[in-house]
Amino acid sequence: MNTTTRTTGRTTQEWQAADAAHFLHPFTDFQSLAKKGARIITRAENIYLWDSDGRRILDAMSGLWCVNVGYGQRALIDAATRQLEQLPFYNAFFQTATPPAIELAELLAEVAPPGFQHVFFTGSGSEGNDTIVRMVRRYWDLLGQPQRQVIVSRRNAYHGSTMAGASLGGMEGMHAQGGLPIPGIVHIGQPYWHEHHDAPPGPGQLEAFGIEAARWLEDKIAELGAENVAAFIGEPVQGAGGVIIPPASYWPEIERICRRHGILIVSDEVICGFGRTGRWFGCETMGFAPDLMTFAKGVTSGYVPLGGVLVGERVAKVLIERGGEFAHGYTYSGHPVACAVGVANLRLIRELGLVGHVHDDVGPYLAATWRELARHPLVGSAETCGLMGALRLVRDQASGEPFPAEVEIGMVCRGHCFREGLIMRAVGDRMIVAPPLVITRAQIDEMAALVTRCLDLTLADARREGWLR
């Protein structure tokens, strides 16, 4: 029996029928999925996936921004297997611990920027951000400032899908379902130039815009009263929002504003962490020093679920020294199998030198590739940060005029990507990639050829349908 039949066992149509009958997918229109049928992914290796029809697909999204070391890494598989055999589960409540959780906490403190010596484990990024909300409020309570409750985030941010995660996030479609945001969470605008301008920025304009966007925080603090503001949270680079890379001036100005008002800074590193931006953490690339960092996804390269919060000394000191019990935790906080995979993953990232590989080699190579793609007539702007890239599709390259929203140009392009064997994500008019960090230059060339082909097919559609200027 070959691997494909062993792992699938049924025909594609059979899988799709059972899927539609029973499986409610996340972020999915159930009826339209049932009509089309899900694509069934059955195996993977390196940066490639195979579906149940045996078609090979280049995964330019690393699963869901998480498979940093690529698929099929023996060290991670062995670490999970060994730990499953030795001790598949024990909790970290009631003054107990397991070696993998201790080792991972120690290793995270090693790779984190200076001042991060403590870790709180969760099962996911969303739970990490729920932990953030409870932890920063607890911090201010312990300091005798219980009125410091409000957490400021940004519109079009993504911080997860639990009640607190979705509230911290700035996705209107999510807030519209279920009475969100929860109290004490407010949003300012995102540092996205093209939300305000069609044409690309002229000399100096982007830096000025970065300062302006950071000052929206200062305005919000003035409105709320600094004495009521607990923390500011942001992704160094917004991922799910469409790979929104802030101007270099933005984060240092945010940091200055927070420091002036004593407000905690939370860096949501769920996507940016573990080498994605060419440093271990995105805050290092963006040039700021947070007090707390949420992590998940790349910590295990997605092989098993794990998340958590890296707690800087300012907060850790108060929690520990003034503490008493922090009444918070999850059954799977410090899950030994997940942590064993995390340890193997971080060691492998080190051994393979993946952070340097992104910083010095494939990151710059992706940037150069993207500069080439910027010449394609559909592309209005092309941006990268480390191994994240975005192409903004426009109706008219000269003016940067966007397509009318009802054209759904990103979805048109994404449809071609699906058919051509490329996983690239569409966020409105932005086509984005975040491939595994193990990608090579030759594989970036292969990805770029597929992207070009899909852009050509999308352009042909636009011509035929009369969508262009």
Ligand X SMILES: *Cc1c(COP(=O)(O)O)cnc(C)c1O
In degrees, rounded to 5, the angle at the alpha carbon of residue 413 between the alpha carbons of residues 412 and 419 is 95
Shortest Cβ 238–ligand X spacing (Å): 8
Please state the closest distance from residue 227 (CB atom) to ligand X, in A. 28
Residue closer to ligand X (CB basis): 296 or 451: 296
268 binds ligand X (CB under 6 A): yes
Contact 323/243 with Cβ under 8 angstroms? Answer: no
Binding-site member from 76, 166, 221, 240 for ligand X (CB under 6 A): 240
Only one of the segments 153-161, 201-209, 314-322, 420-428 lies at the binding site for ligand X (rule: CB under 6 A); that segment is: 153-161
How many residues interact with ligand X (rule CB under 6 A)? 17
132 sits near ligand X (criterion: CB under 6 A):
no
Tokens standing for 257?
Answer: 């504003």
| Cβ 181 to ligand X shortest distance, Å | 15
Write the CB contacts of 324 (distance below 8 Å, at least 6 apart in sequence): none
Report the residue number, 157 or 391, with the smaller CB distance to ligand X.
157
> What single string gives the DSSP state of each residue in 184-228?
TEEEE----GGGT-SSPP-TTHHHHHHHHHHHHHHHHHHHH-GGG
Q: Is 389 helix (H, G, I), strand (E, B) or coil?
A: strand
* Cα radius of gyration (the chain): 22
Residue 311 in contact with residue 120, Cβ under 8 Å? yes
- Residue 436, classed as helix, strand or coil, is coil
Instruction: Give yes or no for residue 239 binding ligand X (CB under 6 A).
Output: yes
Quickly count: other Cβ atoms within 10 Å of residue 317's Cβ: 15
Q: Per CB under 6 A, does 277 bind ligand X?
A: no
Minimum CB distance to ligand X, residue 85 (Å): 26
Kindly tell me which residue out of 71, 158, 280, 403 binds ligand X, with binding defined by CB under 6 A.
158
Cα–Cα distance between 399 and 396 in angstroms, integer? 6
Judged by CB under 6 A, the stretch of 99-107, 121-129, 390-398, 402-410 that binds ligand X is 121-129
Closer CB to ligand X, residue 247 or residue 273? 273
Amino acid at position 337, single letter? V
271 forms part of the interface with ligand X (CB under 6 A)? yes
Site residues (CB under 6 A) for ligand X, limited to 62-101: 65
Only one of the segments 15-23, 38-46, 218-226, 235-243 lies at the binding site for ligand X (rule: CB under 6 A); that segment is: 235-243
DSSP-based three-state secondary structure for 422:
strand
In the complex, the smallest distance separating the C-beta of residue 275 from ligand X, rounded to whole angstroms, is 15
Choose among 409, 252, 438: nearest CA to 351: 438
State the residues that interact with ligand X by CB under 6 A: 65, 124-126, 129, 158-160, 235, 239-240, 268, 270-271, 296-297, 307
